[in-house]
Amino acid sequence: MDEKRIEQLKKLSEKLSHAFRDFILFNTALTHRSYANENPETVREDNERIEFLGDAVLQLCISDILIKKFPEYNEGQLSKVRAAMVNEQPLAGLAREYRIGDFMLLGKGEENSGGRDKDSILGNAIEAIIGSIYLDGGYESALRFIETSFQPLVDEWIECPLYMDYKSLLQETSQSRFKLVPQYQIVSESGPDHDKTFTIEISINDTTITAGTGKNKKEAEQDAARKALDKLENT
């Protein structure tokens, strides 16, 4: 690694509030497979193995945090909250806050196709960074980073539990069980323009599962998805 790259990594490590001892490890966490494939003479490894580890560390740390934060929640409730917090969208959002895309090493194809702002690449990079922090500083360092970074999500959940992305959870469940994606359809709108109520039905494989209501389409979809998840869990 040249001095310019090391300086870049130092700046990012300051943002992450973790003083890396091993910058080669940190650099690996930011190396996409496409870059490693195009530069085999200078790159030994991409970030996929560290990402695998980081995913497990993230699951453990979030579980640790939620167990302490929500002592009244049962296992099913804790699983739903955790799933909402560690899925691709919030991870990618966190990566954007830290401007992780600016520091990624990407192959030319990914670079040209907007890889620096792809949810999948950014979400995986956050998991790889968590894995690198764990390897560099141990569990307490990883937990400290995750507690700080994910605190806004925990706070938002406390203020508004509907933050949970039930739609994403339902899609994952539906694809796993039925190999199909849920379909959403507005079936009614009622009330004046300034205070409308929307009703949206969810169907899977042309079979209506349930309906939800809300003051806007997003809220109605989330309500319907929540009810559908409850129904599927009991069948």
pLDDT band at 148 (very low <50, low <70, confident <90, very high): very high
Residue 224 confidence (pLDDT): 93
pLDDT reading at 154 higher than 80: no
* pTM of the predicted structure, to 2 decimals: 0.70
pLDDT band at 44 (very low <50, low <70, confident <90, very high): confident
pLDDT digit string, tens, across residues 121-130: 999 999 999 9
What average pLDDT does the segment 82-95 reach? 85
What average pLDDT does the segment 215-232 reach? 88
Is residue 204 within 8 A of residue 178, CB to CB? The reply is yes
Q: Which residue, 220, 165, 218, is CA-closest to 187?
A: 220
pLDDT band at 159 (very low <50, low <70, confident <90, very high): low
Q: At what angle do helices 166-178 and 75-85 cross, to 10 degrees?
A: 100
Longest dimension (CA), the chain: 65
Mean model confidence pLDDT for the chain = 89
- As annotated, the active-site residues are 55, 127
Q: Which of 32-36, 163-167, 193-197, 217-221 has the highest mean pLDDT?
A: 32-36
Give the bridge partners for 207, in sequence order.
204
Distance of CA 139 to the CA centre of its chain: 20
